[in-house]
Homo-oligomer: A and B are copies of this chain.
Amino acid sequence: MSKSGESLAVTDPATDVPCCPPLAARRIPAAAAAVLAPAFKALGDPVRLQLMSMIASAPGGEICVCDLTPAFELSGPTISHHLKTLREAGLVDAERRGSWVYYRPRPDLMRQLSILLALEAGTA
């Protein structure tokens, strides 16, 4: 794995999103829970939640790691690990352009998670 634009791909749970009307609509199947729980788990850390927010709210739809790292009092490798967790969860996508790596959100999975938690119909 080492080509620009594909270097950091790991797995793609986001493309395997199983189904999923809101949790409150009917009981989620075990298989779907097994696929979607890791995404919630990835968001279950304050640092990753902030990272996700910075990525999702980035002006141009993407943000450089060099802008993410200095926003926390953590070492570079630690931030990189958290970003890898978000990648493996299918929440973000990474692309290397030149010397810098840019992260961008994956709307599909985020939308799916939002719908899952919705109580009534009609989520984003």
Contact = CB atoms under 8 A, between A and B. Distances in A.
Interface of A: 22-28, 30, 33-34, 36-50, 52-54, 56-57, 105, 107, 110-111, 113-124
A contact patch SS: helix
A39 B39 CA distance: 13
The quantity of this chain's copies bound in the complex is 2
Given A27-B54, A53-B27, A122 B124 contact: yes
Given A41-B45, A46-B37, A120-B124, A57 B114 contact: no
B114 A117 contact: yes
A12 to B, nearest CB: 19
A105 to B, nearest CB: 7
A57 B27 contact: yes
A105 B24 contact: yes
A35 to B, nearest CB: 9
Nearest to A29: B50
Nearest to A44: B41
By Cβ-Cβ distance, the 9 closest A-B pairs, closest first, are: A41-B44, A114-B117, A24-B56, A118-B124, A40-B43, A28-B53, A40-B44, A23-B53, A33-B46
Nearest to A121: B124
